[in-house]
Structure 1
Amino acid sequence: MDTKEENLEEGVFPGCTLEYFQEHKEVLELIKSVEIIIDDKSNYETSLQKFKFIMEQYREQAHLLDSHLEEILEEVIVRVRNVNADMNLKHTLFKYLYMIVSVRGYKVIVKKLPHEVGDLKPVLSMLEEQDSTDLENWQTRYCLLLWLSIIVKIPFDMSRFDTGESGDSSVMQRILTISQTYVLSHDSCNKIAAYLVSQFITRTDVKQVHLQPFLTWCTQYFLSGNSRDDFCKYGPLSALASILKFGKREDILPHSEFLLTTLTEAHINTDSYRLTRRYYVKLIQRLGLTFLKVQIAPWRYKRGNRILSVETNDKAKDRTQDLPTTETITQEEEEDFEVVPQVEEIINELFETLRDKDLTVRWSAAKGLGRVTNRLPKGLADDVIGNVLEYLSPREKDPAWHGACLALAELGKRGLLLPHRLPAAVTAILKALVYDEPKGYCSVGSYIRDAACYVCWAFARAYDHRTLEPFVQDIARGLPLSSLSCLHFGVKDLDKPFRFGWLFSFGLKSVSIHYRLYQTGVLPSRRWPYHTNYS
């Protein structure tokens, strides 16, 4: 009996996973046949749908495309560069390119796009010719903005590309104008336009002239009292957040106080649009990192196992036992530096957004709180942790519980939650594992139990087993209780500590029991929980 039959007898079934990009030749043929089918509406739509169907199969395993991306992109770009090609043909090619970008992600694709000096003016001119109100071919504008974002990084002064003729705008001004236009657009182009701005405005020859005016241009949309402009705040916010992400600290620091004051006066944290609040949180946390020196907290706890691999041999156990003790690590001298008052204001804003009604905003605030705390002195960081624990109290509503759990996980992952805080943290997390608040004919609490499981996963990953051992039995009782109502999260996180054999001797047996109950339908039927959005 072969291995496949043995697996089927044992109940192990093959998943819907792919091993390689099987249709790469078919994809290339579809691209090459564009010139033929462009005038045949029936074949044209069939080809588009076929290309989309092929790409969608790899959305969960997009890395399989990597080995063929350069060849595919080359076929597209060669045809786009043809000056004699019809614009409808180019629109179709850019639709194909956008499907690839949507599956693999623009951060990967942009690195593989050509960035020759000769492409700058043709791409910029093609982008200027596009109609920003054309809803049918917005993919063309999206891909051209993405392509331009890598071209503008060429190591030559932008003034060299100017014609010098009177009345002609400089290339630098043309790029800035087109970027501002699409930052304010109401489609997906605003996200890529923000990325383009961050790559362009942080250039040495551009930031000296255009950085301050562009920041001022963005902030005027925050202070607008017109409700019609509420959506327009999102684009400038994402552009500013992207500039703070890619810009140098010494370039941003002179403008940080101005930006913080403007954001505070605009009260963007109460905006009704979810993405506006989310990018506000991103911008606030990056301003906090700008105010603080670039350094990692010397007092942080030295992590235990970074990789959750199954290590059961004696060598692995000896390596775990040889890890430095908490006392040795926490005795490191802490550098004495002054924290500006603006940092405290930013931390308060992050704490307020931990209570936000939207999950993605709370998630961003938790990550921001972890990043900022990583640069704080030990005393201030301990105050931050104390305030997070206060959110896990009966007087707080469920969004605050969820935000606090995410924040604890982020602090624990970074080694910022020191062992003397673990008793209080574990006590609060045990309550979160069984959180269930009745509301009318239903109850809320599943996403809080999910976040509490995430905290347990983070603690098992971050702390040495000798540090976590006093709390193991309490956690071992809490996770199975959570898994009974949240199988997707409880069992998944129950398994993580078990991989460190020295924590729970009954771990694998418990997971096996849960899996059998899941198979037989005793527990709720949902996807088997070994995938997470948090890890």
Structure 2
Amino acid sequence: MDASDDRDVKLQRASADLLSDIERRLPKLLRKDGSVRQYVRHGSLQKLIDLLEPFQEMPQLLDPKLATFVPVIVDAFVDFLILHKGSYPKSDKVKNDAIPLPRAICRLLYVLCKIRGEKVISRFFDHRPNLLEPMLAAFEAWGKQTRLTGEDDSHPAIVRLTWEEKYIMLLWLSQLLLAPFDLANLSSAVVTAQSLEGHGIVSFKLPDNVPYIAVRTLTLALEHLPSAGKERESAKTLLVRLTVRPDMNKLGLSECVIRWVMETLTSRGDSSGTNPSLYEAVGILSFLAGVLAAGEKGIVSPFIVPIYRSAFAIATDDKSYGYLTGSALGKRMIIKLLRTIAILTLRPETRSAGGISEETVSSILEDTIDYLLTSLAAADTPIRFAASKALSQITLQLDSDMAAEVVEAILGSLNEDVLAMEATSSSNSANDDLLRQRTMRKSLATVNPGRWHGLVLSLAQLLLRRSPPQSQLPEILKVLMNALTFEQRSATGVSVGANVRDAACFGIWAVVRGYSTQQLLAIDVKSIVRSLNSQSDMTVLHALAIELVVSGCLDPSGNIRRGSSAALQELIGRHPDTIINGIPLVQVVDYHAVALRSRALTQVASDASRLGKVYWEALFRAMLDWRGIGSPDEVSRRMTAKAIGLLSEIIDGTTAKRMFADITSVLGALRSTEVEERHGLLLALASLLDSAIWQKYNDQNLSDAELSSLLGRDFPSQILSQVSALPENDFVAFSRRPELTAEASCVLVSSLLRRCQLLQLSLSDEDFGACLRIISLSLPRSDEVTITSTSTAARNLFSVLNSQRRSDLVRQWIDLLVNGKKSVVTPSGHLASLGAVFALVSGDRGEGLSKDQNDILNAILSYCTENIAVEFRVAALQSLRNGVIKSKTITSAIVDALQASLRDYSVDQRGDVGSWVRLEAVDAVCEAWKHQLLSDAAQRLLLPEVCRLAGEKLDKVRYRAWLCLRELAALHSSTHALSLFNCSSPDLAYVSTETYFSQLLQLLLSDICGLRLPLLEGIFISAGGGYESLLRASRNSLAKFVYELSVEGGGYNLVEFCKDINQVIKTNLSNDRVLIPSLDVVSYLFDTGSLQRASEARGETGWRALLSLVQKAHYKSTNMPKLSAAIQVYAGLGEIPAIKQESLSKLLSLLLHPFPLVRNMAAEIIFTTLLPDSQVNTCSAELQRTNWSASPKELKERVNKLRAALIETR
């Protein structure tokens, strides 16, 4: 919903650092020790490009440094060109992250052209004419096809020059052709051939005495004119520059080129020829437009009419030229060509030079304008942009009467398919001008949004050039104000009106920029806003400002909000002292402030409404329309409801009462199917009830009579009537989106109950019944938003009920949960509501829980057992956390439920769904710690479990457990081990780092609450079964920790660590989830050499116990990961001298395992690790020769021989 927050501001602040970094890197990239490089590392080039790319947001920030950057790049290219113009660097080095310098330079120059525009960047090119010959020679030599070194003829040839190189070099050549003297002076050679067929250009006949350098240039341009890439544009520019040169015109080359391209375009369009490719046709059209725009009248005038006839024939003949007219790119070029021709024919000197009659001019203008008006409705946005721009440029050249006719034609097209719209409000306020304006607007539901975009964009372009006369401004402004609120949605719900509103912003910006204050103030505002009364002193400028404020605050598109802000700034800046609080208004509706829609809807709209009642009225009315409560997404409707509440804090009680009346009036007019609008309106009513204005009445201590006079005697009943009459089907039918109705109804009920309690308003039994009905219908919902709103409504209802009613309702809900589990499909709502009212059903006995509280607690805990669905266990834990624990209640049963939930590892087809339960259990434990509710005994039970989760492999669980430990560390800052958790910032990525695991392992040094074994268990799971980066971080930190442990001595040592390993494995012999990762970690620690140090201890280290445990772990197992891990542990134990023979014996036994893979693994371990030096020659040969995939019966004799040789060697 929100746009990026102030991205351009951040770029502006960082631009100085970026530019200095570019200035530092650029010379190092291009040169070494003062000499130009031949190759550049791709990584270095990409870093420089990454520094330049952000400037696309604000390209003007580059301007101060362009004169420094571009000449450095250009000079390096020229130096390389002079040194290597005949030989391009070998392409085989591209494989080694090195690219040739010309390719790197051209890529850099292309990025700069993309950011700042080729016209700006090309000004910094070296324009010395003597570079034309070397540049041509280099292009011809470098462009030849070669093969990579070492490849044979079977490999396809590769082109040396990339499209960036071709684009930049052709662009550079076009700049060099601006030399102010004849090309014959640059090359004494004259072409001898009469055609270019030898260069692949068919049917091109050359005139006599053409300089060879011109022919080479012409050949390059024509070769790349049909290209599909960016180089086509620079080839077009090169060909135009060559064609319009006076010396080429004298030689007849210009005429030859123009005739050839026209023949190429049109002669192949008939049935006897082959159509040129799309890109070739586009290149030709762009060349013709460029020649007509840049050429002297003596050169191009004779060709204007023939070119027009060809172009118009192509534009109107979809059968022969459908490949071109069906393409947005092709049609855009046709429009550009027709525009250029039409503008040229309007110039008297062109008409006289070409002998063009007035009838021909009129025909060209009429046909072109008609074609452009038709193109405004094209499906492709680029075509509409091109047509609108062309139409405005042509209209600018017409006389005032013809220009007015063009504008009238556009306005007439805008009135087609527009229907009258009925009034939607019954407000009778004398000051409600904008509401009446809203009812007078026409319905645009049936118009073509693409056509409207083109037409409005044309008006904006015309206004930018001040083409429309002042007499047409009222009708134009009326259209722009309607377009500013234009909205349509496709069948799939996607907005298709944003383009129209964007064009309207552009149009209003152009109006206030191009016309004077006197001209705009002279317009009768009633001709635009007909609903204004005769006493209204509003001006057109003020009406425009109000519409822009509304659009800037409420429009769903960030571009339009910012466009409206820019237009408002232009309006107030160009026409000072015409707008109420103009300067403060611009400061509030700031370009950067409206970037976030949530901020624009709430903060900006509220601040703007404080600057004048007219702004308040306009914003409130717009919030009741499609940009507010009628928005298709739920988040926008909730934000709008909040904004309406903020607006109510600015006004007095009478206006607030009118707000209630207006909202209820719109609610009453809704159809039953308009669920989204009803959702937004009900939330708006609730927001009004929650607004701070009611606090004013509470502070004034108004009497009941005064409140009744202000609000009405049956105020609660009026509010509840909006939801009490809703049918039950609206809360259950899937097609009616019942979650929206349930949420909004419960939020309204909750707000009403809170407000009645604050103002001490009494509710009738019917009102209580209506509230209870809404809550009861909403309780079966399972979505999170509805559950939250329902539980809040239940808590507020209980706050106004007497004890007997509370008890009865609790009994009813508990019966549904406990005794009617089969009838309650989704008990999440009931569980949340029982937790929410837990604190409100306490008895009068003081200490201890009341009977109702005990019943609620037992009902909730009954849903924390393993036989309950995971979703409901999560709901029960949320109820415990949000209701029971927050009311500072804890029992041994709750502690037991939390401990069991922390160990929940349920798995189904969705994966580890038990992680949802563990996450909620961690949050519940954290809540209990915050309130310091856990006894020492409870902490001894729960702390080890949380520590275990702090090391497990799921990131979210590990992160939440770490946050929980941080909370406990804050309460026990004196405990050294826990105080370590206060040092780090809460960041999800942090819990996957070596630093985190190293910090976690420090807890092993002080066995708080017996957390060593659970903590090791959690870390073993991450180090043995996590994803790659987690595996690496946890294993590295664990290996470092073990290596730093002393073998023996005081405190936690390596011997104790080995005993803890044995205990973890022993405890989890039947739990593969922990056992397999633990065995993997033990084998890893053996591989690092960390565990072997324990054999230096004088006492018992537990090696035989570990050997026995590993044997028990894989006994009769068919689990391959477990068997593989056990074999790896045996390999590590084989390095311990005291039990080497026992480990070898176990591995020899596995040589007869039923699984061939196990037998091969065991043989490999014996061969690579455990063979005694005395038996290496004999046994290694036996192990290598044996096929361990054979059956165990065949292998038994060989295994016995190995056993006799290895076990007896002692």
Which of the five TM-score ranges fits, normalised by the shorter chain? 0.7 to 0.9
| Aligned partners of 2:103 and 2:161 also within 8 Å | no
519, 524, 530: which one pairs with 1:467?
519
CA contact (8 A) 1:450 1:489 kept: yes
Instruction: Say which of 389, 401, 404 aligns to 1:367.
Output: 389
Measured at CA, do residues 460 and 96 of structure 1 come closer, stay the same or move farther in structure 2, by a change above 3 Å?
closer
Which amino acid letter does the alignment assign opposite residue 189 of structure 1?
A: E
C-alpha distance in 2 between matches for 1:467 and 1:355: 31
Give the match for residue 163 of structure 1: 189
Query: Does structure 2 conserve the Cα–Cα contact (< 8 Å) formed by 1:291 and 1:340?
Result: no
Rg bigger for which structure? 2
Query: Residues 313-332 of structure 1 correspond to what in structure 2 (within 5 A)?
Result: none
CA separation in 1, counterparts of 2:106 and 2:502? 40
Instruction: Supply the distance in 2 between the matched residues of 1:446 and 1:504 (Cα, whole angstroms).
Output: 27
Alpha-carbon distance between aligned partners in 1 of 2:279 and 2:505, rounded to the nearest angstrom: 36
Cα distance between partner residues in 1 of 2:192 and 2:473: 69
TM-score (norm 1): 0.80
Question: How is 1:121-520 mapped onto 2 (pairs within 5 angstroms)?
Answer: 121-129=133-141, 130-131=143-144, 134=159, 137-160=162-185, 161-164=187-190, 170-208=212-250, 209-223=252-266, 224-225=268-269, 229-267=277-315, 271-293=325-347, 340-395=362-417, 396-442=447-493, 443-469=495-521, 470=523, 471-483=540-552, 484-485=554-555, 486-499=560-573, 500-514=575-589
AA aligned to 1:349 is Y
Q: Secondary structure at the match of 2:576?
A: coil
Letter in 2 for 1:121: E
2:159 alignment partner, SS class: coil
Deviates more, 1:460-469 or 1:148-157: 148-157
TM superposition shift of 1:501: 2.0
Partner of 1:195, secondary structure, is: helix
Partners of 1:167 and 1:249 lie apart in 2 by: 30
Contact 1:518 1:524 in 2 (8 A): no
**Structure 2 letter corresponding to 1:27:** L
Matched, 1:16 2:11: yes
1:19 CA displacement = 4.2
Change beyond 3 A, Cα 1:49–1:340: same
1:165 Cα deviation from its structure 2 partner: 7.8
TM-aligned CA deviation for residue 167 of structure 1 = 5.8
Q: Deviations over 1:367-417 (max 9, x none)?
A: 222221122122211111111112222425212211121211222222211
Whichever residue aligns with residue 505 of structure 1, its letter is I
- Judge conservation of contact 1:79–1:85 (CA < 8 Å) in 2: no
Please tell me whether the aligned partners of residues 81 and 134 of structure 2 are also in contact (alpha carbons under 8 angstroms): no
CA contact (8 A) 1:231 1:273 kept: no
Structure 2 length as normaliser, TM-score?
Answer: 0.37
Aligned mates of 2:62, 2:329 — CA distance in 1? 26
Corresponding pairs, count: 471
User: Residue 344 and residue 122 in structure 1: after superposition, are their counterparts in 2 closer, same or farther (change >3 A)?
Assistant: same
Q: Which residue pairs with 2:130 in the alignment? A: 118
**C-alpha distance in 1 between matches for 2:264 and 2:62:** 37
The reply to whether residue 67 of structure 1 matches residue 141 of structure 2 is no
Q: Distance in 1 between matches of 2:294 and 2:278?
A: 26
> Take 1:12 and 1:122, find their aligned partners in 2: how far apart are those partners?
44
- Distance apart, 1:157 and its partner CA: 1.9
Instruction: Give SS of 1:374's match.
Output: helix
Does the 8 Å CA contact 2:264/2:276 hold for their aligned counterparts?
no
Query: Following TM superposition, by how much is the alpha carbon of 1:37 offset from its aligned partner in structure 2, in angstroms?
Result: 7.1
Q: Is the 8 A contact 2:484 2:504 kept in 1?
A: yes
Query: Partner of 1:114: helix, strand, or coil?
Result: coil
Given that 1:460 and 1:497 are in contact with CA atoms closer than 8 Å, whether structure 2 keeps it comes out as: yes
What is the deviation of 1:82?
1.5
Unaligned 5+ runs, structure 2 = 1-5, 90-99, 146-157, 195-210, 350-357, 418-446, 524-539, 603-1210
> CA–CA distance in 1 between the matches of 2:551 and 2:233?
38
Structure 2 CA distance for partners of 1:81 and 1:108, relative to 1, 3 Å = farther
Q: Report the Cα distance in structure 2 between the residues aligned to 1:359 and 1:388, rounded to whole angstroms.
A: 18
Q: Contact between 1:497 and 1:504, CA under 8 Å: does it hold in 2?
A: no
**Percent of aligned pairs sharing the same letter:** 21
**Cα separation, 1, equivalents of 2:370 and 2:220:** 36
Higher RCO structure, 1 or 2 (CA under 8 Å, sep 6+): 1
Q: Aligned partners of 2:475 and 2:191: how far apart in 1?
A: 70
Q: CA deviation at 1:237?
A: 1.5
Partners of 2:221 and 2:53 in 1: how far apart?
A: 30
Which residue of 1 is the match for residue 609 of structure 2?
none
Which whole-Å CA distance do the structure 1 matches of 2:8 and 2:370 have between them? 50
> How far apart are residue 293 of structure 1 and its match?
1.3
Contact between 1:30 and 1:47, CA under 8 Å: does it hold in 2? yes
1:72 alignment partner AA: I
Counterpart secondary structure, 1:16: helix
DSSP-derived class of the 2:123 partner: helix
Q: Structure 2: which amino acid aligns with 1:188?
A: K
State the distance in 2 between where 1:215 and 1:241 align: 11
Question: Tell me, which stretches of 5 or more residues in structure 1 are unaligned?
Answer: 1-10, 296-336, 526-535
1:101 — aligned with what? 113
Check 1:82–1:360 CA distance in 2 against 1; reply closer, same or farther (3 A cut): same
CA 1:241–1:207 in structure 2 vs 1: closer, same or farther (change >3 Å)? same
Contact 1:241 1:286 in 2 (8 A): yes
Q: State the alpha-carbon separation in 2 of the partners of residues 154 and 351 from structure 1.
A: 41
Q: CA deviation at 1:294?
A: 7.0
Per-residue CA deviations over 1:260-317 (Å, capped at 9, x if unaligned) read 110111127862322212222111111111101179xxxxxxxxxxxxxxxxxxxxxx
Distance 1:262 1:524, change over 3 A: farther
Post-superposition shift, 1:347?
Answer: 1.6
